[in-house]
Every structure is written in structure tokens, then in C-alpha cells.
Structure 1
């Protein structure tokens, strides 16, 4: 991969009903047995806020999980967001089943 111009992206082939790839990857979770539940909830709320997701995208080029953040001009012009946004638009949620981890 010495020449970035030699790299390409191809869509996942469509099946019988639609095209799409699984979406997701990072999660925030709170341990039910934590002695600091309120602090943990506050941290998750903070990290999930639109303003923090915007900052994270601007500084680290990570994709936001909030749809509204994609409308922020600084996020819209981010090169990585422009590159991956079409994949996000066609992505589907992973199934919410206990066996989900064994599928992915």
C-alpha cells in the first residue's frame, strides 16, 4: 500500500432483499455492581453527548453514533467521515440476541 491512489473500496454485494453490512463496534457499558453507578451513568451520558461526539470526530476522525452530529459542518467536511458515511448509511444493526457475539 505504498500508493494511496491504488486503493479502492467496493460495496458489499447485495443479497436477495438488500445490501448492507453490520454496524457497530464500540459500546459503553456500566457494571451493575459498581459502587459508583451515578458517576458511571454520568460518564456514559457525557461520552454519548452530541458535543463530545463532535469533538471526538474532529480530533480523532471517529464516526459519531448520533445522526445529528453528521450535520455539523466540521464533521461533514472530515475526510474520514466523507469516506465512511456511505457505508454507515447502508449499514444495518446487529441482531439483539444473546448469541450475537458468536455470529460476529
Structure 2
């Protein structure tokens, strides 16, 4: 498999996780207590027992995620891998292109 294919997977994973995070912010799965809702990468990292940088890199498609890490993040958000898979499978090429454009523009801004 080539690098482009792996990058495509990384982006789909990131898009899916961002959708789960967004859903968790608006309709918390694990709690009704506003303080307990996972709304940041730091809170996800703590709940999943991961480094914040690892969570950040996965959410921004900067690194390949191991399945154990991915499961820990998904479960910390209160979702099952079945839900993750459904959302992952529904990610469109347009969403991928939009994500790539956003990431490219963000990197451009960093350089300037």
C-alpha cells in the first residue's frame, strides 16, 4: 500500500473522530454533568490514558493510529467501534478534500 492510501485512512479516521467529539459535545453519551463532558483533546487524553500530543496528532491526521489507541479514544468518548465504523464508512470524498484543504491552509498560516 502506498503513502497516499495510508494518508487517506488517517484523514478518514480524523474526520470520524471529530464527528464523534462534536456529537459528544452536543449530546454527551457518558454523563449529564457538564463538567464531565469530554470537550477537549486534553480531557480525551486523560480519559483514554494517552498523551495529549498523541490524541492531537490522531485528530489532525498527523500520525497513523494503532488500533488500541483508536479504541481507547472512541470508548473514552462513550461510543462503540460499531458507531465509529458506521461514521467512518460514510465519510465522503468531499469531506476528505475539505479536510486536506483546511490542513494545507493551516500549515500555510503556520509558515507565515
TM-score of the pair, normalised by structure 2:
0.26
Query: Which entry has the higher C-alpha Rg, 1 or 2?
Result: 1
**Bigger helix share:** 2
Bigger relative contact order (CA 8 A; separation at least 6):
2
TM-score of the pair, normalised by structure 1:
0.27
